[in-house]
C-alpha cells in the first residue's frame, strides 16, 4: 500500500502556451492497494467511482506497459484541486495513477519514463512536468520525447487564484483557438516568453506586467469566461504584478509581492461570492510517495 501526493499546477503563465508550468501548494492524494479481486474507489463523486475513473484508467495503461496483472485494486482519493478549473486536476490524477501502478507492479519505471508515459496520456507536458518535479518548469516535445528544465525563481512573490464556481473543459477551451496565427502574434509571444523567463530568473518582478501578456490563446478563451476582461483590468488596477489565465481556465491567476497585504481586499470589492480567492506558493518538491504498512 502506498500514498501518492500530487501538487496542483498552473500552466502557460500567459505567453508560454503548452510549454510553461508551475507547481502550487494545493494537492490531490491517492492511496493504492492491491486487493484480492475487483475495483474499489472511494473519496470521490460516485459518478467517478468506476472503471472510467481517470486514475484507474491511467493505472491500466501502466500495467499493460509493464505486463503486470493485479488481482484487484483499491483506490482511496483525497482531492483538494478543483476539477476543470485550469489547476491541473487531470494531470494530478494521471500522475497519481501512473506512479501508483508503477509501485504496485514493482517499480520498473524511472522518473523519466513516468514523465513520458504520463505526458502521453495527458497529451502535453506543461502540467505533468511541474507536478512531477515541482517548481517552475519549461517543457517541450521533441520527437515524442519530453525535454524539460527547472528554473529557479527567487523568493519575493506569491500567487492569488480567482477560482469561479463554474467549470471549463480543456476540449472546449481548445476548440475556440484559431487554426493559424499571424507572424506578428508569434513574434509578440516569443518576446514575452523570453522576457518572462529572464524576469523570473533574475527576480525582476516589476517586468511581469509586460512579460505575462499573450496573443495566442487568452483573447479567445477569455470570451468563454463571464466578465473576464473586466476582471483582468481590475486585478491590474488593484496592483498585482501580473495576471494570466491559469491553464485553459476558467481560473485567473495573479502574481503579487509577498508584502502586499491589500490586494485580496481590493479584489473582494469587485468580484462576487461565486469566485473563490485562494493564496498559493510554489511547491518545490513535486510528487511525494509514502509507503504505508
- pTM score, two decimals? 0.94
Cβ burial, residue 258 (10 Å; 0-12/13-18/19+)? exposed
Q: CB of 149 within 8 A of CB of 138?
A: yes
Share of the chain above pLDDT 90, in %: 91
Residue ranges at the known binding site for ATP: 82-92
Q: What is the pLDDT at residue 189?
A: 97
If one counts every other C-beta atom within 10 angstroms of the C-beta of residue 267, the result is 20
CATH entry, 2-151+283-291, from 3.40.50.920, 1.10.357.10, 3.40.50.720, 3.30.230.10: 3.30.230.10
Measured CA to CA, the distance from residue 4 to residue 14 in angstroms comes to 29
Q: What is the pLDDT at residue 292?
A: 81
Looking at domain 157-280, which CATH architecture does it have? 2-Layer Sandwich (3.30)
Q: Is the pLDDT of residue 56 over 90?
A: yes
Is the alpha carbon torsion for 17, 18, 21, 25 positive or negative?
positive
Cell reading at 182:
499571424
How far is it between the farthest Cα atoms of the chain?
A: 60
Measured CA to CA, the distance from residue 248 to residue 18 in angstroms comes to 10
Rg of the chain in Å (alpha carbons): 19
Q: Which of 229, 237, 244, 293 is nearest to 263 (CA)?
A: 237
Per-residue model confidence as pLDDT tens digits over 217-246: 999 999 999 999 999 999 999 999 999 999
Q: What is the pLDDT at residue 195?
A: 98
DSSP state for residue 38 in the 8-state scheme: E
Per-residue model confidence as pLDDT tens digits over 268-284: 998 988 999 999 999 99
Q: Is the pLDDT of residue 126 over 90?
A: yes
How confident is residue 170, by pLDDT bands cut at 50, 70 and 90?
A: confident
Q: Is the pLDDT of residue 101 over 90?
A: yes
Q: What residue has cell string 509577498?
A: 258
Q: Where are the domains of the chain?
A: 2-151+283-291, 157-280
Per-residue model confidence as pLDDT tens digits over 205-219: 999 999 999 999 999
Residue ranges at the known binding site: 82-92
Q: What is the pLDDT at residue 138?
A: 98
Q: Which of 8, 14, 11 is nearest to 242 (CA)?
A: 14
Q: Is the pLDDT of residue 9 over 90?
A: yes
Amino acid at each position: 500500500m502506498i500514498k501518492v501526493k500530487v501538487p496542483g499546477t498552473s500552466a502557460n503563465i500567459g505567453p508560454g502556451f503548452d510549454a510553461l508550468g508551475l507547481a502550487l501548494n494545493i494537492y490531490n492524494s491517492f492511496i493504492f492497494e492491491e486487493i484480492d479481486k475487483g475495483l474499489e474507489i472511494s473519496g470521490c463523486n460516485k459518478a467517478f467511482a468506476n472503471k472510467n475513473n481517470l486514475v484507474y484508467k491511467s493505472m491500466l495503461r501502466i500495467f499493460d506497459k509493464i505486463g503486470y496483472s493485479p488481482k484487484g485494486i483499491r483506490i482511496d482519493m483525497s482531492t483538494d484541486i478543483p476539477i476543470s478549473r485550469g489547476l491541473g486536476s487531470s494531470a494530478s490524477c494521471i500522475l497519481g495513477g501512473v506512479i501508483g501502478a508503477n509501485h504496485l507492479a514493482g517499480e520498473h519505471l524511472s522518473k523519466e519514463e513516468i514523465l513520458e508515459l504520463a505526458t502521453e496520456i495527458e497529451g502535453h507536458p506543461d502540467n505533468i512536468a511541474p507536478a512531477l518535479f515541482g517548481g517552475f518548469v519549461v517543457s517541450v516535445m521533441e520527437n515524442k520525447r519530453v525535454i524539460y528544465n527547472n528554473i529557479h525563481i527567487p523568493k519575493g512573490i506569491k500567487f492569488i487564484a480567482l477560482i469561479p464556481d463554474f467549470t471549463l473543459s480543456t476540449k472546449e477551451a481548445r476548440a475556440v483557438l484559431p487554426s493559424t496565427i499571424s507572424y506578428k502574434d508569434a513574434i509578440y509571444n516569443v518576446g514575452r516568453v523570453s522576457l518572462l523567463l529572464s524576469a523570473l530568473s533574475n527576480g525582476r518582478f516589476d517586468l511581469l506586467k509586460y512579460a505575462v501578456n499573450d496573443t495566442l490563446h487568452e483573447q479567445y478563451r477569455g470570451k468563454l469566461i463571464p466578465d473576464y476582461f473586466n476582471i483582468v483590468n481590475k486585478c491590474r488596477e488593484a496592483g498585482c504584478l501580473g495576471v494570466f489565465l491559469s491553464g485553459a481556465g476558467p481560473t485567473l491567476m495573479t502574481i503579487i509581492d509577498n508584502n502586499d497585504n491589500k490586494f485580496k481586499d481590493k479584489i473582494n470589492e469587485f468580484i462576487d461570492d461565486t469566485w473563490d480567492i485562494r493564496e498559493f506558493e510554489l511547491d518545490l518538491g513535486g510528487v511525494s510517495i509514502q509507503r504505508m504498512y
